[in-house]
Every structure is written in structure tokens, then in C-alpha cells.
Structure 1
Amino acid sequence: MAAIPTKLEGCFIIEPNVIPDERGYFMESYNEKRFEAETGTKVHFVQDNQSFSTKGVLRGLHYQTGEHAQAKLVRVLQGEVLDVAVDIRPDSPTFGEHVAVMLTAQNNKQLFVPRGFAHGFLVVSETATFFYKCDNFYNKESEGGIIYNDERIGIDWGMEASNLIISQKDTVLPNLQNSRPIW
């Protein structure tokens, strides 16, 4: 596996070693020792989550606060998504900046989203199955979120707003300036 640093400190694109043969392929999707060696980050995942969505579904931008903050390792099992991580660490030199990565079942790329980041994704294929590992358990009282179209962040989702399918909860999230503090 290779960990490719992004412009946001601590956020990495993970490219696993895929071994194809006449039957298909094999890949190790996660190995704690290799992950630590490649990223310099010690993380212990405790919860796996999976979602299925149709084209145009936008989930996010979400995060957990305080002692319930979560780091995530995200990937696509089927389909294609535009995956976005936003640095919301107040003292970070890249506060409010984001990275966007196309994650597909074909490219097998993953994105490591450290604690102190908001995360979201948009399904760009007809359907997508999204999978992620978390290093902390979900806690409803610690939920935080930022509206997907915050002008300060400036994410180009690559799809007309009229084609987006967004939960009612996500349409009323605050902008970055008015969002819940992470710590």
C-alpha cells in the first residue's frame, strides 16, 4: 500500500496493492502495521459502517466533536463517489480548506480522514456502496455538521444543485463560521 499525502496535514489517499490474475484480483484493504508505517499515524479502528445510495445522493458534511471525534478510513465497494474532507481544526494553517478525491470500486483508492475534519461524499454513479472504518464509536450528542455548499469552503461537487438528493437534516446545517466547535 502507498499513502499519498494531501495538502491537508494528516489526510492521506491510500492506494492498496492490487494483485490481479485470471480469476479477478486480491488486495489487502487494511493492515494496521503498514498503515502506521506509511502514514506515521497510529490509529485503532473500532467501528465499521456501510451505506448504499443512488446517483445524486450527497451525505455530509459531518463530524463528531470532543472526546467522540472520529478518524475515518473510507472506500467504495461498488460504484463511484466524489469524497470530500474539510479541515476544521481551528489552529490549522489549512483551516476551511478541503480535498476532493474520486473513489471508485475500480480504482480501490481510500481516503484517510483524521480527527478534526468534516467529511462528505456525493454519489456520481447510478448507485454506490460506501464503506468506512472509524476509530471511535458514534455518539449522537456529539454530532456536528457544515452545509455542503458553504461559500467559504467552496467545494465543486461537479453536479447541479437541482440534481442533488440531500436529507432534510443536511439541508439545514450551519456554515463553517457558525458550526459547532470540534473540541
Structure 2
Amino acid sequence: MKIIPTEIPEVLIIEPQVYGDHRGFFMESFNQKQFQDKTEIICHFVQDNHSRSKGGILRGLHYQIKSPQGKLLRVVNGEIFDVAVDIRRNSPTFRQWVGVVLSAENYRQLWVPEGFAHGFYVVSDSADVLYKTTDYYAPQHERTIMWNDEDLGIAWPIGDKEPVLSAKDQKGDRLRAAEVFET
């Protein structure tokens, strides 16, 4: 497993070792001991999720203000532009974001720690995203920040197209009005 730092030190790109030949490939998609040894992050995953989305779908920016979730994401079909936004008010990287291309072809994973809003845009015709979380889904604590909040200035790879959004994502808050993490 190779760990690649991003512009925000807590957000990490993880490249698993992939063994391939004419038959296909094998990879260990997660190993708790290696993850902890290489990142010094101690976490316990409690839930695995699978999301399938059509091309042009944008999901996010989501987070749980109570029961916050760390997430380890990977794509098993297609390609996404994955985004993590630091919403920890006292952090030196508050309001900064990281965007990473995750695809079935590059095998990359993204670690998004607690205290970050998360979203992704489907670049390919469709995408299957698998992700582990460090806490359970708690819809009563879920919050959404507008995907196109000009205070964030996220450079989504959408060109002049309008992304397809859920009703919930259409009603996201501006970061300046959103509940954020105070610690």
C-alpha cells in the first residue's frame, strides 16, 4: 500500500498493491494493520456502502454534524471526481478542498477523515463507489453544503453542463451559514 499526501495533510490518497496478469488481477482493498502502520490513523469501520450513479450525477457535499464519519472510498466501475472540504473551523485548512480522480482503472482510494464534507461528480457513463465509514449513517445529523458555493470555488470537471442533483443537494447551505465542526 502506498500513501500519497494531498494539499490537506489529513486527506490521503491510497494506492493498493495490484497483482495482475492475463487472468485479471488481485488486490487487498483494505488491511487495518497496514493502514494504521503507514498512516498512524486508528479507526474502526462499522459500515460498508455501495453507491451507483449515472454520468453527470453530483452527490454532496455531505457530512454528519453529530456522529461524524471518516470515509475510505474507492471506485469499482467507472470514474468520479471526488472532493473533500475541510469544515473544521479551527483548522489551518478550513474552507480548503481537495479533488481527486478515482476510477476502476487507477485503483486509488481516498481517505476523508471526520470533520470534512464530501461529494463526488460522476465523469464516466456510470460509476459504482464503495466506501467504508467509521460511524453509522444518522440522517437526523446529516447536513449538506452547496456543491457550487462560491466561497469554496471547487473546480468541478463539468464544463458548462449542469450536474444532476437530488432534491436534498439542491437545498444545500452556503458554508458561511452551515453548521461546522468547532474543534
Give the CA deviation at 1:172: 1.2
Return 5+ residue gaps in structure 1 as ranges.
Answer: none
Give the CA deviation at 1:5: 1.4
Identity %: 48
Specify whether residues 161 and 46 from structure 1 end up closer, same or farther in structure 2 by C-alpha distance, changes over 3 A only. Answer: farther
Specify whether residues 161 and 134 from structure 1 end up closer, same or farther in structure 2 by C-alpha distance, changes over 3 A only. Answer: farther
Name the amino acid aligned to 1:47: Q
3-state DSSP class of the match of 2:37? helix
Q: What residue in structure 2 maps to residue 135 of structure 1?
A: 134
Give the CA deviation at 1:96: 0.4
Instruction: Give the TM-score taking structure 1 as reference length.
Output: 0.96
Give the CA deviation at 1:161: 5.5
- Aligned residue-pair number: 182
- C-alpha separation in 2, matches of 1:15 and 1:143: 29
Instruction: Give the TM-score taking structure 2 as reference length.
Output: 0.96
Cα contact 1:46–1:135 (8 A) shared by 2:
yes
- C-alpha separation in 1, matches of 2:141 and 2:160: 28
- C-alpha separation in 2, matches of 1:139 and 1:158: 30
Cα contact 1:4–1:14 (8 A) shared by 2:
yes
Q: Which runs of 4+ in 1 moved over 3 A?
A: 160-163
- C-alpha separation in 2, matches of 1:60 and 1:181: 15
Cα contact 1:69–1:182 (8 A) shared by 2:
no
Q: What residue in structure 1 maps to residue 115 of structure 2?
A: 116
Q: What residue in structure 2 maps to residue 159 of structure 1?
A: 158
- C-alpha separation in 1, matches of 2:40 and 2:153: 29
- C-alpha separation in 1, matches of 2:95 and 2:144: 13
Name the amino acid aligned to 1:4: I
- C-alpha separation in 2, matches of 1:15 and 1:181: 30
- C-alpha separation in 2, matches of 1:83 and 1:157: 9
Give the CA deviation at 1:163: 3.3
